[in-house]
Amino acid sequence: MQPLAERLRPKTLDDYVSQSHLIGTEGVLRKMINMDAFPSMIFWGPPGTGKTTLALIIANIAKRPFYQLSAVNAGVKDVREVIESASTSRGMFAQRPILFIDEIHRFSKSQQDSLLGAVEKGLVTLIGATTENPSFEVIPALLSRCQVYILNHFTKADLDLLLQKAIATDEVLKLRKIELNETDALIRISGGDARKLLNTLELVVSGSTDNPLIITNDLVASMAQKNGAFYDKSGEQHYDIISAFIKSIRGSDPNGAVYWLARMIEGGEDLKFIARRMLIAASEDIGNANPTALIMANNTFQAVQTIGYPESRIILSQCAVYLATSPKSNASYLAIGKAQQIVKQTGDLPVPLHLRNAPTKLMKELNYGKDYLYSHDYTDNFIEQEFLPDELSGQKIYDPGENAKEVQLRQFLRARWKEKYGY
């Protein structure tokens, strides 16, 4: 018998839970699907959010031939064979076939290149699924020919609905008297992955002969302990361990950082994912307290792509230790957050005339850029003038942190701007 998650796989958009921004009544994707006018696309979202299911529903509604590959075990030869088969079938069908590639981020550049021609010529409509940012993992030429749709994490309400639906409608579970007294443990163990949620529910139900079966957090926890690894690198543990790793770096503990790094490496985590997160930490948590940290993290990212495993583990370790032992500042992170909040509150304030670009004679006649003072013409390459909209004059957005480097920056700004920004 099929697993519960497969038995409950939605067949229509109306059965599909969540992602209302895409397939709700006014969802952009629903409208295109109903018009049978959808482009090649990439679904980007966490595991278990219905990327494969959505691709199957699209093919079913559009009544197009459907070809599926997994990037985990498919090579260039497999891609070419599927494209050839799809091209042949195109002659028998009015609509172009759909080629669905799961985990497309695992395809190498050459494998993605082999797809490009078929997509360009319209031989297939490509639907790719990925848990990783396609901007990093999909070649630009292919990405530019695809629309990217983001699938969001399931909410607790979504997951509760899935559980209730399973008990009420599944041909096997509805034969049992099952009461969902508590669902927190099921949802926590699933890590928001709907497939894992349903498979865990099925395991708990099959592991008990109680009738009626009352599902509680304690029951689920005890079953999880007996059955060991409910987790994998794409589920809750993936997010928990990377969180522990980043928090160790932020907390200046190289011991914790290297330990959690080792846990990820031993678990088979994507090394580029680890390197990307260190890039973010170098800016978010260290920033101008040590600007070299960002250079170090970027060089690490480039090196990991060049070297590969196992040697790249040494480079990752070196960078993790460097970041953990660097002085910390989140001033730049706070500054952009504050600036974005100001923009949301104040809207599109006009650019002061002296800061505007004046590429045409008319703009110059309208005084665009007229009173702008070129800083390099003045002592210390500085002359005080207004760089914010008039309504925001004197608004301090960047507030340097209390570390050696940014104390120097504060002194620099105070010397230039005196009391204007309160440095």
Domain at 309, CATH number: 1.20.272.10
Assess whether 42 and 140 both reside in one domain: yes
Residues 357 and 400: their CA atoms lie apart, in Å, by 30
Q: Looking at residue 89, what is its pLDDT?
A: 64
Rounded-to-10 torsion of CA 33, 37, 43, 48: 20
Assess whether 24 and 119 both reside in one domain: yes
Tokens 């229509």 belong to which residue? 12
Instruction: Copy the structure tokens of residue 223.
Output: 């079953």
**Diameter of the chain by CA atoms?**
86
The domain spanning residue 353 has which CATH number? 1.10.3710
- Inter-axis angle of helices 292-307 and 271-281, nearest 10: 170
SS3 402: coil
Q: Is residue 75 part of a domain?
A: yes
Q: Count other C-beta atoms under 10 Å from residue 84's C-beta.
A: 12
The domain spanning residue 195 has which CATH number? 1.10.8.60
Q: Is residue 54 part of a domain?
A: yes
Assess whether 269 and 192 both reside in one domain: no
Assess whether 110 and 163 both reside in one domain: no
User: Each residue of 37-92: pLDDT tens digit?
Assistant: 888 999 999 888 899 999 999 999 988 888 898 887 777 888 888 888 877 765 55
Numbers of helices and strands, H then E, in the chain: 20, 7
Q: Count other C-beta atoms under 10 Å from residue 141's C-beta.
A: 13
Answer whether 147's CB lies under 8 Å from 3's CB.
no
Assess whether 188 and 310 both reside in one domain: no
Q: Looking at residue 229, what is its pLDDT?
A: 42
Assess whether 120 and 48 both reside in one domain: yes
Domain encompassing residue 357: 345-417
Rounded-to-10 torsion of CA 356, 361, 367, 371: 70
Listed residues 150, 179, 198: the one ending a domain: 150
Q: Is residue 2 part of a domain?
A: no
Residue 4: closest CA among 191, 170, 183: 170
Assess whether 146 and 160 both reside in one domain: no
The domain spanning residue 53 has which CATH number? 3.40.50.300
Q: Count other C-beta atoms under 10 Å from residue 392's C-beta.
A: 15
Answer whether 191's CB lies under 8 Å from 224's CB.
no
Contacts of 3 (CB under 8 A, 6+ apart): 198, 199, 202
Assess whether 304 and 213 both reside in one domain: no
Q: Count other C-beta atoms under 10 Å from residue 316's C-beta.
A: 23
| Total of domains in the chain | 4
Assess whether 97 and 181 both reside in one domain: no
Assess whether 141 and 32 both reside in one domain: yes
Look at the chain and count its residues.
423
Assess whether 241 and 276 both reside in one domain: yes
**Which ranges of the chain have pLDDT less than 50?**
228-231, 234
Residues 119 and 96: their CA atoms lie apart, in Å, by 11
Q: Is the pTM of this model over 0.75?
A: no
Question: What is residue 18's DSSP assignment?
Answer: S
Q: Looking at residue 77, what is its pLDDT?
A: 83
Tell whether the torsion through CA atoms of 251, 252, 253 and 258 is positive or negative. positive
Q: Looking at residue 251, what is its pLDDT?
A: 94
Q: Looking at residue 231, what is its pLDDT?
A: 40
Assess whether 26 and 107 both reside in one domain: yes
Q: Output b/e per residue, 10-22; b: 16+ Cβ within 10 A.
A: eeebeebbbbeeb
Q: Is residue 339 part of a domain?
A: no
Residues 373 and 371: their CA atoms lie apart, in Å, by 6
Question: Which long-range contacts (C-beta less than 8 Å, at least 24 apart) are formed by 218-224?
Answer: 218/185, 220/182, 220/185, 220/186, 220/189, 221/185, 224/185, 224/189, 224/200
